[in-house]
Structure formats: C-alpha cells, structure tokens
A and B are shown apart, each in its own frame.
Chain A
C-alpha cells in the first residue's frame, strides 16, 4: 500500500470487524436502529434542492416526503449520524497520521482518469442505493445483522455486480 512515512498501519481486519460489530450492536441496543450513510447524503441534497427550487420538490412525490411544505429535510437522525461519520473518520485519520491529500488509484491510470471513474461510480452507487432503499451500511451491514431477507439478497447482489465487472476494470486498479 502507498503509505507515506509516519502513517500508522491499518488495524487487523478481524479486530476492525469486531469493533465495527460492537458499534453496530450498540447502535441497535441504544437507538433501535442500525448504521447508515446514503440517507444523510440524500437529505443533504434534498435540502440544497429545496433551497434552490422549492416548487420542484412539491412536484415529485418521493422528494415531497422529506421536504414538502415546512418539513426540514435535515431534521432527521440519519443526518447527524452522517455528520458524525465524517468527524469520526477525521479523528481516526489524525490519530493514525493518515490524513494526506492524495488520489488512490492503480499505477496504470492518471489521477484525472481516476476522478472521472470515481464520479461515474459514485453516480451508480447513489442511484442504486436509493433504488435498494439503503447502501452497504444501512442495508447489507445493519439489515444483515438483524437477519432481513431483503438485506441478504441485496448483499449478494452488490458482491455479484462488482465481481462480474471486476475483470473488465482490472487495468484501473492493478
């Protein structure tokens, strides 16, 4: 891995997984709800859309649920969880001396190509996450741990989709 000097190594994956599992359990135990990420981004986007063009919000049923009339799309627990996630990532990066402005990519492509790929991949992710009513955190991880059938089907679909195309994108990563 391209780690610069002074950066502490990442934790053993089984240790990370155990810690993540305990965090997930505590989230369920205390709040009744699991973890998530795409929901917070979704509401942030709707907030901006509502500020720019409120009439449009009122014409789309899906958006109306979050920001119709006087309801504030940011008035949701998931928004605070998402803000916390960014802070937590920053704190851990500081402690591990891993904060560095860089672009992680395979050696055969330029940073520009990597950014274009990141944007396209992100768009697929955002679209799919809304269609599946959840992302890797909210559906696969949280729903998987509480044994939802839909979450397990979703999880297999994500891995299937990525593995199916991995061969065609090998030049971008290796």
Chain B
C-alpha cells in the first residue's frame, strides 16, 4: 500500500537519485520540443488566438497528470501527502505571474521552452536564456529591499478542494470537463481568427476524452483515503512499532536531541490548554488532539532534520496523535515515554514536595499540582545540561524524506 513516491535517495544514493531526475528531464525536453515549444513564433501565436497550442498542450497535460495522480491516490498506490504541492504565497505569485506574462509576450518563451529552443539552435532562445539569467541576477540583488512582500500572504500547502470545501474528486472532474469544453471553444476561435474551416480533430481524441472523464469519475466515486483508511493501510506495521516500544523515547533522549544543534526538535504538546499553561517544555507547540490532523501538512514542510516528539501527561493522548500523524505520513515521529509526568519526575522530581503530588492519577492526568501557570518558566521546562549524563536506550533513527523539500524552481 502507498509505496509511491519512491524513496529515491535510499534506493539509489544521493547522486544516483539525480540520474532519475535527468531521465525525467530528457522526457520533459522531448515532449516540449515535439510540441513545437522550441519555436517562439508558435508560442506567441497563442496570444493572438491564431494557434492556441500553448493552452491546448498545457491543459491537456494538467488534466491527464491530475487525473492520474488523484486516481492512483484514491486506490492507495500513491501517497498524495508526500507529493510536493507548491505552497501558496498568493500575492508574490500573482505579481510574479503578471511580470512573467509581460516577459512571455515580449520575449516569446518561458524558461522551460527556451531551453529546448536553445537545444535546437534557435538564436532568439539562446539570447532569451541569457535574459532569464540576468533577470534572476537582478532578483537576487533587489529582493532584500522588499523581502516582507516576498514572504507575505503565505497560506502553506493550500489546495483548491480546501478553498472550495469540496472533495478532491469533484474538483478533478470539474476541471477535466471545463478544460475539454474550452478545447472545443479554442478550435472554433482559431478557425474564426484564421478564417479557415475548422479542422477535423483526430479520431482518437473523442475516445481519449471519454476515457479521461471516466477515470476522473472513478477517482470521484472511490474518494481520497481518509485518515482512518490511511491508518488501516499501515496499522499492522505501525501498531507493532508502538507495541514493541520502538517510538517511545526516554526523557533523556529527548533532552539530548534538544541540545543537538544539528537536529531540530519540535515538541508537540497535545494536552488541553490548562495543563499546557501550568507547565510545558521550552519550545513546545500546543496542539490539541482535534487539531492534530489539519496540522499534518504544515509539519510535512519542516526541514528534513526535524524530529517531532508528541507528549501528553502520560502516553495515552500522545499515542492517539501519533497514529493520526503517522497515517498522514509525517516522518520522524516519536512519543515522549511516560509523558510529561515522567519528564517532571526525571528533571524536577527532587524538588517536588509530597503534598504537590497526586496519588493514583487518572489516565492522562497530570501527576503534580501546580499552584500557578508556570508555562515554560519552570526549571524542568529546559533542564540543566548536567542532566545530559543520564543514560538511555537510543531509539531515534532519522528517516529520509521521500520527496524533495522544494519544487521545480527551488
């Protein structure tokens, strides 16, 4: 189940995996060139409605790839959570897009098409590539002056189904149908602008369009896997890890990693707000259980050297949260062994008096009484480094990310 995308760096090594990307690039270049995208005049014709090839090729590619991605995700073959979805920075994206549109009509290429133009001897493409490099250079020199705008309107991994609050399948089939209709319109527009009779479409296009709609309908009917479906798919292996206590790390191991500058530890505190205010670890993120699932996509965007450690007063709620996040494919996910209670006993046990201890605490109850909301000001929130001498059984193994942490333009 969900064995794709492949962990390329694990399978082929750091540089070996680059060979796959080179092959993908070759296929990309071949399709662009054979589509006529090495020819600037043909590209610019799009904007005079003479030859709407740019629109046709691009939207055919989008609906084909989109349908296949969400179909393979629906049947559990591909893990959409591990797919790189460009994070939304709305206004920098729109302004950058407008600037690129201006560049397109003046220069006649976009960066990808200029590469295949260059490869096929088009002198205007070669000059264009130098122009692109100059533009990138200018950006590097000027971005410091308006970095605030560049980082503004950030919405993270934000998708159209989330925006419209409908299912992925519904969005996919809608886009397919609208695109197919627009293809028919563009055929008519071309014929009208060029004053030629409308050419007959090749015979295979109609069955192909029908097949695409059918595949999108299948994806819609099956639906994208829910968190429970995703947990079911991994439950045997993952429950075994819980039962064999491979992911419950001792307080001492957590403290060691918190003091390791090469690793970024994010403690995720899933207790209710009262407990969190009474005491939490320095740097702990408050994440109530009902917010855990929606947080997953944000956690996916953290750097590859990040370790997430879930904690509740004992292990109960933290284990629940672990299952949810594990099902959403969040990597490097651990549970604090014995929870906050064990942490306090380890690092502040010597200074807590008997009357401040709760005898026989209920499941996931804090075993210590706090008279004030100490937050992260408590001595155990960031224990003294001399505690680093404590021995523990090491359990953390850094797991490489399966997908690159940046998109095609990083």
Contact = CB atoms under 8 A, between A and B. Distances in A.
A125 B111 contact: yes
A170 B193 CA distance: 14
Contacts of A69: none
Contacts of B299: none
Given A32-B404, A133-B96, A142-B407, A16 B132 contact: no
A103 B189 CA distance: 28
Given A34-B407, A120-B106, A130-B139, A93 B48 contact: no
A129 B116 CA distance: 18
Contacts of B90: 149-150, 153
A41 B119 CA distance: 14
Interface stretch (B77-85, B230-238, B385-393): B77-85
Contact of B111 (A13, A24, A29, A38): A38
Given A17-B60, A89-B119, A119-B131, A80 B22 contact: yes
A76 B29 CA distance: 18
A11 interface: yes
Interface string A97-111: 011111111100001
> What is the size category of the interface that chain B forms with chain A?
35 or more
B101 A164 contact: yes
A29 B116 CA distance: 24
B155 A30 contact: no
Q: Is the interface of B mostly helix, strand, loop or mixed?
A: helix
B26 A91 contact: yes
A interface majority secondary structure: helix
Contacts of A161: 97-102, 104-105
Interface in A143-164: 143-164
Contacts of B130: 119, 122
Contacts, number: 587
Given A80-B25, A100-B121, A148-B159, A169 B106 contact: yes
B243 to A, nearest CB: 30
A118 B125 contact: yes
Contacts of B31: 16, 19-20, 23, 88, 92
B11 to A, nearest CB: 10
Interface stretch (B50-58, B271-279, B282-290): B50-58
A103 to B, nearest CB: 5
Given A45-B133, A136-B110, A128 B100 contact: yes
Interface string B91-119: 01111111111111111111111111111
B402 interface: yes
Given A91-B29, A117-B106, A39 B119 contact: no
Interface in A22-36: 22-36
> Nearest 5 pairs between A and B by C-beta?
A121-B107, A36-B408, A161-B101, A84-B25, A122-B131
10 contacts: A1-B39, A23-B24, A77-B17, A89-B118, A96-B33, A111-B123, A129-B111, A142-B407, A160-B98, A161-B97
Given A30-B5, A38-B111, A157-B94, 16 more contacts: A13-B57, A28-B65, A29-B4, A31-B24, A32-B82, A35-B408, A84-B27, A88-B28, A90-B120, A92-B34, A104-B124, A121-B109, A126-B135, A127-B138, A149-B160, A152-B160
Interface of B: 4-6, 8, 17-36, 38-42, 44-48, 53, 56-66, 68-69, 72, 78, 80, 82-90, 92-125, 127-141, 143-144, 147, 150, 155, 157-163, 168, 171-172, 183, 201-202, 205, 208, 402-404, 406-410
